[in-house]
Chains A and B, each alone.
Chain A
């Protein structure tokens, strides 16, 4: 069975600085998808970025980028130029690419605090 591990329960970053959130996963599959979700105090789950495992190029979305290391089964999220609005819980998630697969496996989350 697949597992997703986020070993940092809480992280802090100074406004305008860069922070990296860690995520490791375990799977025997060769093709899959990885996601980072943001959950602000409003509780709404917001997709931040996604990565297809067959793509070697790391995904980027504005100030958000990932460092995808397939062999190491590592999928970290880098937030550049941190803003107060980035303060939230961040969840890493895995989904198989097998057709008809629906189940997402979520990590336990990392709470990010942004200091003014």
Chain B
């Protein structure tokens, strides 16, 4: 298994440009999510999905869109990039829990710089 993969690893955008961060997992996990990591802020949840066709907002959703057309993929779209979106972005996935705790698996991250 490749686990959780993210592309690209690095990206530089100009203000106003749009782009899509890709995330894929091959573990048949129902839950997927996007976080952003900023210095001194820890990880903050942007959007998450509990299954194909179902998405919801996290703590900091503004400026981002997501969709989940398949179990494997969960792309994050920046509609009009702003310098405030300069951050490291992590995708994560895990199995739907019943009464057990399932580990959350993280991708390697994408470092995005908006100038």
Contact = CB atoms under 8 A, between A and B. Distances in A.
Interface of A: 4, 6, 9, 33, 42-45, 47, 50, 52, 91, 93, 99-100, 102-104, 106-109
B104 interface: yes
Interface in B50-74: 50, 58-59
Contacts of A91: 42-43
The size class of the interface chain B forms with chain A is 20 to 34
Contact of A102 (B31, B40, B106, B108): B31
Given A43-B88, A43-B108, A44-B108, A102 B42 contact: no
Interface of B: 31, 33, 35, 40-45, 48, 50, 58-59, 88, 90, 92, 97-99, 101, 103-104, 106, 108-109, 111
Contacts of A43: 88, 108-109, 111
A91 B38 CA distance: 13
Given A45-B90, A52-B101, A108-B42, A102 B109 contact: no
A52 B88 CA distance: 29
A103 B45 contact: yes
A102 B88 contact: no
Majority SS at the chain A contact face: loop
Contacts, number: 48
Tell which of B40, B43, B101 has the most Cβ of chain A within 10 Å: B43
14 contacts: A42-B108, A43-B111, A45-B106, A47-B103, A50-B103, A52-B101, A91-B42, A91-B43, A93-B43, A102-B33, A102-B50, A103-B59, A106-B42, A106-B44
